[in-house]
Amino acid sequence: PCKAAKRAVTEVVDLLRQKDGYIIEEIKFPTDGWETYNLYLKLSSAEGNMRGFTEGLEGEELLDLYSPLKQAANLPNCLRPIVAALIDDRRGGLVRSVRNGGITSYAYWQLLADLTDVRKAWAKLMEKNCYDAILHPSLPLPALYCGTSKDLTAAFSYTMLANLLLWPEG
């Protein structure tokens, strides 16, 4: 996590340790972070080419700030490994995970099976250890100015785990 996210979690942990009734433990994630990130990307882009996103516009023009995402979504699949090798791991993961033309229904069902495994692993961790809550970084930023989100995609990766698990976050 970035410094701001680490500091936020550390400050909350320090405050909770000062109060009675809280047991604070550091946990080991039951799933791999990069695999979970890529699962989120694959599920959210399964239809390919930002189809659901652009159809949801109902004829309105796509805002310019989404152009880089649209370009990545439309990148030919044969070029994805090359482009991914030239950029950082997080954006490379995005390029590798998204498919021009989308994925098959079989591949989508396999992703849903993977999602079920992730949710079961986290539920098992919670039940086995009798945890009431897990503290983890959320979006480490104040409210964003209109148009700035295009430059901050990596910051949103902190929210992906809670979204996959259908857990509240904030």
pLDDT in tens, 25-34: 999 999 998 8
Q: What is the pLDDT of residues 67-86, one digit of tens each?
A: 888 888 999 999 999 999 99
Average pLDDT, the chain: 89
* Torsion, CA 76, CA 79, CA 81, CA 83, rounded to 10: -110
Rounded CA gap, 9 and 84, in Å?
31
Amino acid, res. 80: R
User: What is the pLDDT averaged over residues 13-38?
Assistant: 91
- pTM, rounded to two decimals: 0.84
> Across 59-68, 99-108, 158-167, which has the greatest mean pLDDT?
99-108
Asked if 100 contacts 74 with a C-beta cutoff of 8 angstroms, the reply is: yes
